[in-house]
Amino acid sequence: MILPEREILALHRAIVGIPSVSGSEAELAGFVEDRLRQRGAAPIRIGQSVVAFHGEGPLFLLDTHIDTVPPAPGWTRDPWKVEVVDGRVHGLGANDAKASVAAMIAAFLAFQEVDLPFTLALALVEGEETRGTGTEAVLKELARRGLEIEAAMVGEPTGLDVAIAQKGLLVLELGTRGDACHAAHAAALGAANAARLLARDLVALEGIDFGPAHPLLGPITLEPTQVKAGTARNVVPGEATAILDVRSTPSLPPAEIVRRIRERVQGEVRVLSDRLLPAEAPAGALIVEAARRSRQGVRLYGSPTLSDMAFLGAVPAIKCGPGRSERSHTPDEFVLEEEVLDGARFYTRLIGAYAELRDPVANAAFVAAARGER
């Protein structure tokens, strides 16, 4: 049976009230671990991440993060103090992603006495806002234990729209080399200016062909985001570099994207990061059908933004959660109380619908009980 609404809201406020900027999640991890134990779960710690299990068999994974970014400039409230005004819960992380944390805990606990045809796993992870280290460590530990994940739900503020695909991220460095010399003598010496060479390469990358757009995620995109050249006003640069932010789709593997970029430029292309891969739930995935059944008129879409969904590989996964993405990392961050409650209801219905799809006859009565339909 799902927790009472007042208890879900109180849990959310308590979670928001514990600071947990990336790298400082220990206090909040301890709090959620204790709260799960009080409710009969047996959580484990993996670093500053908390993982709990219920049932046997392959895993249905609920994954969201307990860390936050530091407060952005412009807060008019105390970001470390929870304030509830007209149904809005203000506080750092209230929306991203502590609304998902509270909602997922409520949904997990709703099934503590339900015989599910899979293991329900809850991962509340550290480090998502930096490098995704929490989910990576959890996945490694699950693999070490021989536990197979058959489906996953990643909690992020999406307005309860369901992302069934997500772009990946390739971070590249484009570098050129020229002839460093005094600017006054460059023309006479015929010196190559690394900044000019870099500029030509950047222009050459405009309109690069990465093939047809993905049906859900659109085209692969490339944007130069940081450009560096020169050491002094009167010195021709001997080196110049640009960081290339490439948002990838399943349409092309990272190696092929890099190959096409190298074909277009004269400079050197180095791969700084290729670990954040695009993701897409396969056609006919049970978790997608369960999401359809769990919310009337649910919108399925492709997400341009990153999440820990990037680390799940071939696991059928979706991204969904209470709150709105556009409120994330903003001053005076907030989430609506009703959004938190809707999130708890949605996650609970999703788990129930997935159980029914996996084993329609044996689990219908148990699932109805968990939904409060006794």
Q: Which CATH number does the domain housing residue 47 bear? A: 3.40.630.10
| Residue range 230-244: mean pLDDT, rounded | 97
Phi–psi pair at 162, nearest 5 degrees: -115, 115
* pLDDT for position 366: 54
| Span 211-227, pLDDT tens digits | 999 999 999 999 999 99
Kindly state the helix (H) or strand (E) to which residue 169 belongs, with its residue range: strand 168-177
Peptide bond connecting 97 to the previous residue in cis, omega within 30 degrees of 0: yes
Counting residues of the chain whose pLDDT is more than 90, the rounded percentage is 94
User: 252, 275, 298: which is the final residue of a domain?
Assistant: 275
User: 275, 304, 330: which is the final residue of a domain?
Assistant: 275
* Type of residue numbered 12: H
Q: Are residues 75 and 124 in the same domain?
A: yes
Q: Are residues 36 and 116 in the same domain?
A: yes
* 328 within 8 A of 93, measured Cβ to Cβ: no
Per the structure, the count of domains in the chain is 2
Q: Are residues 294 and 151 in the same domain?
A: yes
Q: Are residues 247 and 287 in the same domain?
A: no
User: 225, 257, 275: which is the final residue of a domain?
Assistant: 275
CA-only gyration radius of the chain, Å: 24
* pLDDT for position 361: 63
- 343 half-sphere exposure, CB direction, 13 A CA radius: 37
Burial of residue 200 (CB within 10 Å: 0-12, 13-18, 19+) is middle
* pLDDT for position 367: 56
Q: Are residues 223 and 154 in the same domain?
A: no
| Residue range 176-183: mean pLDDT, rounded | 97
| Span 79-127, pLDDT tens digits | 999 999 999 999 999 999 999 999 999 999 999 999 999 999 999 999 9
* pLDDT for position 283: 87
Please identify which residue in the block is written with the tokens 């219905």.
349
Q: Are residues 38 and 157 in the same domain?
A: yes
Average of per-residue pLDDT values in the chain = 95
Closest CA to 310 of 140, 49, 131: 131
Closest CA to 94 of 112, 69, 117, 121: 69
Report the SS3 class of residue 175. Answer: strand
Tokens of 140: 């490694």
Distance between CA 42 and CA 63 in Å, rounded? Answer: 17
Report the SS3 class of residue 305. Answer: coil
* Type of residue numbered 84: V
* pLDDT for position 374: 39
Q: Are residues 10 and 110 in the same domain?
A: yes
Distance between CA 319 and CA 64 in Å, rounded? Answer: 10
Q: Are residues 134 and 180 in the same domain?
A: no
| Span 17-74, pLDDT tens digits | 999 999 999 999 999 999 999 999 999 999 999 999 999 999 999 999 999 999 999 9
Q: Are residues 270 and 288 in the same domain?
A: no
Q: Are residues 149 and 196 in the same domain?
A: no
Measured between its terminal Cα atoms, the distance across the chain in Å is: 9
| Residue range 5-28: mean pLDDT, rounded | 98
Q: Are residues 162 and 184 in the same domain?
A: no
0.85 exceeded by pTM: yes
Distances in Å between the alpha carbon of 304 and those of 245, 249, 324, 325, 352?
Answer: 13, 9, 14, 11, 29
* pLDDT for position 365: 53
Tokens of 151: 């489906």
Q: Are residues 229 and 265 in the same domain?
A: yes
**Structural domain span for residue 317:** 5-166+278-370
